[in-house]
Structure 1
Amino acid sequence: MRGTFPLGTVAGVRVLAHWSALGLAALIVALLGGAVLPRALPGAGPGAYWTVALAAGILFMAALLVHELAHAVVARRCGLKVGSITLWGLGGFTELEEQAETPRVELAVAAAGPLTSLGVAAVGFLVYLVLPRPALPASAVAWLAGMNLLLGVFNLLPGAPLDGGRVLHALLWWRFRDVRRADRGAEQAGRALGMALIAIGVFGTLALGWFGGLWLLVLGWFIIGAARQELTVKVARSGLRDLSVRDVMTPDPERAAAWVTVEEFADQVALNSRQTDFPVVSFAGTPIGVVSLAALASVPPERRGATRVDSLDITRRPMRVVAPDDDATSLIERPALRQLIVVVEEGRLVGMVTGADLERILRQAFLRADRPGP
């Protein structure tokens, strides 16, 4: 996901935060400090409200992280590779670099997060019982326990991409011994869940004047889109299972030598090429960046003869490096907009994967996946 920044490493897993996570945290603090706590205990004073609200907001974001860490820890214990955890405006997600090979593993990984949230809620309610009341800390703990209970229950709703959708997928996979049937069943359940949330949101907003209905509208729309995208990735992954990057890449692409001038490269290569992006290579043939036609054209004509390619900002465009013998499914595991994929073997550029290459293999993957299996 673009727009993220690192928070560190927890239990060996890289943790990132999207900018929208800051908005979520600010919304929680504002809700607690401006409404929930003043109603629960009037007359405590603004300083006390906002101090407790800030602490509760931090604890809530920590609870979201614990939820995702549960997924990551169980996945690693089951032998799956975990990429990272990202917190964002609608909660968080754990990036798994491998898919579960059995329904039992998928069920364990999927259920770990909601069960952890329910456990956190139970601990919160126990803490609430022993705290003195009425008091702001007790009110904040009760709110946190209730939100974790809601988080655990909501995530168990049976529809992709929620954890409950993955639980449903594992159960369908186990019942029918057909992962493709499970894929479509989880996607259909996710679409139905999203439409139900949208209907409730519309009714709540228009008929009851409930502001929370807008949140359900956004959430339902997101679930429908994410369920469709998840099915697309799964079907594509199935169709690409026996291919390598070498089968997909454009071999020996036109490249820009770092030391040539913009004018020389334009006359000899760029003006006669069908490419819009060119890997920039060093003397050793190793890719060190990307230069686009737009970047070349931005150099004033009178300066092109004296401007070397490597003096341009060739690192602005994201570049991902893969090996030719990597599994082709790796190309769709972590897709990134505007990211050029270059293929390197023994330190030298041997190919690149363009947007047209990705579109072609995805269409071919759907053709392969739709064929009857043995």
Structure 2
Amino acid sequence: MKGILPLGTVAGIPVRAHWSALGLAALIVAVLGGVVLPRAMPGLDHRHYWPVAVVAGGLFVASLLIHELAHALVARWCGLKTSSITLWGLGGSTELEEEAKNPRVELVVAAVGPLASLGIAALAFLTSLIMPRATLPASAVVWLATMNLLLGLFNLLPGAPLDGGRVLHALLWWRSGDRSRADRGAARAGHMLGAALIAVGLFGTLLWGWLGGLWLLLLGCFIVAGARQELTFKVARVGLRGLLVREVMTPEPDLAPAWMTVGEFVEKVVLGSRQTVFPVVTFTGAPIGCVSLFNLMTVPRARRSVTRIETLTVTRRPVRVLASDDEAIRLLEQPIRGLLIAVVEGGRLVGMVTSTDLDRILGQALLRAGTNAVG
């Protein structure tokens, strides 16, 4: 995902924010300061609303982080590795490096996030009871309780990719003992849930105005797309079993020496190559990233003789590296960085896996598994 801003680590887990999370925070503050708080406490100077709106908005974003941290910490307690937490415009996501080994673990990890949100809602509501009534802070705390209540309940809706969809998946898996069957059941539920939200959003646009209907429409589209993507990923994992990276990679690719000028590289390598992406390597042959035809075309002809490849490198260290005899299923562990994964043997780059290669093997995996995206 592009536009990611690292925020640091919490309990040893990297926390990041997509640029859309900043838009979400700004929207929350704007709605609180411009609409919610003035309606709850009318007649005050507008300068009083905005500081409370900023604090309440910050606390809500923090509650989203707590929701995701609950997933991550319980997953780690259950023996699952967590790679990162990412906040974005529709909430957040916890990226696990591996799937649950049994339905009980999946159920606990999935359910703890919504329960954390409901716990925050209960705590905020109890706090509002002991605060002075008819004050801006009390109104903000009630709003915070309400939003976390809605967040927790919404995430418990039974459909992938929501937490409730994973709870449903765990229960179906537990009952049938068939993980693939549970995959399909949770995906179908997510598809139906998303379609229902889209329908309600379209209908609601006529009744509530465009803002409320558009929000439900957006959520519905997100759920439908997420359900399809999640099932595709899980089926692809089954289809990739038994394959090795060497069967997927592009072997002995043309390389881009970091010290070479663009003009020299274009004349000596690019014009005679079938590749559109080139691994960038150092003097020792270690990969540090990649450069594409598009990157090269951005350099004016007059500057090609003085511009070095290293200045155009898309991804710098650390570059994701695999061995040729690794299982191909490892290609799905993390997104491809900078358009490729380097395959290294004995310190020398012997192959690469590009995003195009990954798309190809995912399609082949789905065909091998005998399914479509939603099945």
> When the two structures are superposed, what TM-score results if normalisation uses the length of structure 1?
0.92
| Structure 2 unmatched runs, 5+ | none
Q: By how many angstroms is 1:261 displaced?
A: 4.6
Question: How far apart in 2 are the matches of 1:119 and 1:369?
Answer: 41
SS state of the match for residue 94, structure 1? strand
Q: By how many angstroms is 1:123 displaced?
A: 0.7
Q: What percentage of aligned pairs have identical amino acids? A: 66
1:256-286 Cα distance to aligned partner (Å, 9 max, x none): 3334454544444322211112212222111
Taking a change above 3 Å as real, the CA distance of residues 296 and 200 of structure 1, as seen in their structure-2 partners, is: closer
Contact 2:244/2:326, CA 8 A, preserved across alignment: yes
Taking a change above 3 Å as real, the CA distance of residues 268 and 45 of structure 1, as seen in their structure-2 partners, is: closer
Quick one: which amino acid aligns to residue 186 of structure 2? A
SS state of the match for residue 278, structure 1? strand
Match of 1:14 in 2: 14
Q: By how many angstroms is 1:118 displaced?
A: 0.7
Which deviates further from its counterpart, 347-356 or 60-69? 347-356
Correspondence list, 1:124-273, <5 A: 124-209=124-209, 211-273=211-273
1:261-313 Cα distance to aligned partner (Å, 9 max, x none): 54544444322211112212222111233233344455555665x44744642
Question: How far apart in 1 are the matches of 2:31 and 2:301?
Answer: 56
Contact 1:24/1:89, CA 8 A, preserved across alignment: yes
Quick one: which amino acid aligns to residue 56 of structure 2? A
Question: How far apart in 1 are the matches of 2:116 and 2:179?
Answer: 27
Which deviates further from its counterpart, 45-54 or 90-99? 45-54
Which deviates further from its counterpart, 182-191 or 28-37? 28-37
Question: How far apart in 1 are the matches of 2:292 and 2:141?
Answer: 54
Which deviates further from its counterpart, 155-164 or 37-46? 37-46
SS state of the match for residue 137, structure 2? helix
Number of matched residues?
Answer: 370
Q: By how many angstroms is 1:126 displaced?
A: 0.8
Match of 2:83 in 1: 83
Question: How far apart in 2 are the matches of 1:262 and 1:47?
Answer: 56
Taking a change above 3 Å as real, the CA distance of residues 88 and 311 of structure 1, as seen in their structure-2 partners, is: closer
Contact 1:259/1:308, CA 8 A, preserved across alignment: no
1:25-62 Cα distance to aligned partner (Å, 9 max, x none): 11111111111111112223222211111110010000
Quick one: which amino acid aligns to residue 118 of structure 2? L
Match of 2:344 in 1: 344
Question: How far apart in 2 are the matches of 1:247 and 1:128?
Answer: 61
Question: How far apart in 1 are the matches of 2:204 and 2:148?
Answer: 23
Taking a change above 3 Å as real, the CA distance of residues 357 and 182 of structure 1, as seen in their structure-2 partners, is: same
SS state of the match for residue 328, structure 2? coil
Contact 1:318/1:338, CA 8 A, preserved across alignment: no
Question: How far apart in 2 are the matches of 1:337 and 1:279?
Answer: 12
Match of 2:322 in 1: 323
1:167-191 Cα distance to aligned partner (Å, 9 max, x none): 0000111111111111111111001
SS state of the match for residue 104, structure 2? helix
Match of 2:366 in 1: 366
Taking a change above 3 Å as real, the CA distance of residues 282 and 311 of structure 1, as seen in their structure-2 partners, is: closer
Question: How far apart in 2 are the matches of 1:93 and 1:215?
Answer: 19
Which deviates further from its counterpart, 27-36 or 285-294? 285-294
Match of 1:28 in 2: 28
Quick one: which amino acid aligns to residue 55 of structure 2? A
Match of 1:100 in 2: 100
Question: How far apart in 1 are the matches of 2:13 and 2:36?
Answer: 34
Contact 2:81/2:97, CA 8 A, preserved across alignment: yes
SS state of the match for residue 159, structure 2? coil
> When the two structures are superposed, what TM-score results if normalisation uses the length of structure 2?
0.92
Q: Quote the RMSD (CA, aligned, Å).
A: 2.2
Quick one: which amino acid aligns to residue 287 of structure 2? P
Which deviates further from its counterpart, 335-344 or 79-88? 335-344
Question: How far apart in 2 are the matches of 1:168 and 1:161?
Answer: 11
| Structure 1 unmatched runs, 5+ | none
Question: How far apart in 1 are the matches of 2:198 and 2:9?
Answer: 36
Taking a change above 3 Å as real, the CA distance of residues 130 and 64 of structure 1, as seen in their structure-2 partners, is: same
Contact 2:315/2:338, CA 8 A, preserved across alignment: no
Quick one: which amino acid aligns to residue 252 of structure 1? E
Taking a change above 3 Å as real, the CA distance of residues 183 and 260 of structure 1, as seen in their structure-2 partners, is: same
